[in-house]
Amino acid sequence: MLRSLFTASTVFSIAFLTVPQLSAQEVKAHADHAEGAHAAMPNLGIAVVVPTKENKVRGVIRLSQTGDHLHVVGKIRNLSPGEHGFHIHEFGDLRNMEDGTSAGGHFNPSGAPHGAPDHGHVGDLGNITADGEGVASIDITVKNTQLHFVLGRAFVIHADKDDLTSQPSGAAGPRVGLGIIGVGNPEFKYAPKE
């Protein structure tokens, strides 16, 4: 028994001595890096909109944090002229681009009923309007939310107008375009083409 205890402690001591030891300077550098990585929350988001099957919808949407609101700007192309439901959906999952259903339902952390942007849930962004050329310009403010709550979720553009009433999602028809919301590069300047 004494021999096995001696052998175990010898093996442990040798193993401990062979593990590389970090200097105090290296430990501080790792701590500083970790602190810096978590200190700053992103304030710019980006989504590149791609079409579901048999659609041609494309675009780029930018989000910027302004106090406790999100400013959302962008251009969506290749839509049919008229109004189209525009929402944030709960998942940034584009595995099913046949119909976009892998993005889930509207992002609704409070469980509020569907409605217009001023009295619905966070994912209710209302409608965007495409002109005769099929281009919709977006310039809206999403109130009382933070960028980090929507990162990794998806913008969804629907084929039809959101009636802002029907439950649970406004009867806006099929999903024609989706874009995952990611952290934007603040050094890349994007201006939608006119």
The reply to whether 118 belongs to the active site is no
Q: Which of 84, 121, 153, 162 is catalytic?
A: 121
Q: Which of 84, 106, 153, 162 is catalytic?
A: 106
Q: Which of 77, 84, 153, 175 is catalytic?
A: 175
The reply to whether 119 belongs to the active site is no
On whether the CB atoms of residues 116 and 60 are closer than 8 A, the answer is: no
d(CA 43, CA 49): 20
On whether the CB atoms of residues 79 and 157 are closer than 8 A, the answer is: yes
Q: Which of 3, 30, 62, 89 is catalytic?
A: 89
The reply to whether 71 belongs to the active site is no
Q: Which of 77, 84, 114, 153 is catalytic?
A: 114
d(CA 180, CA 45): 10
The reply to whether 87 belongs to the active site is yes
The reply to whether 89 belongs to the active site is yes
Q: Which of 77, 84, 153, 158 is catalytic?
A: 158
User: Would residue 18 be called left, alpha or beta, if left means φ above 0 and alpha means ψ between -120 and 50 degrees?
Assistant: alpha
Q: Tokens in use for 36?
A: 């810096």
CA-nearest of 52, 38, 25 to 148 is 38
* C-alpha 108: how far from chain center: 14
The reply to whether 148 belongs to the active site is no
Q: Which of 84, 87, 153, 162 is catalytic?
A: 87
Which of the residues are catalytic? 87, 89, 106, 114, 121, 124, 158, 175
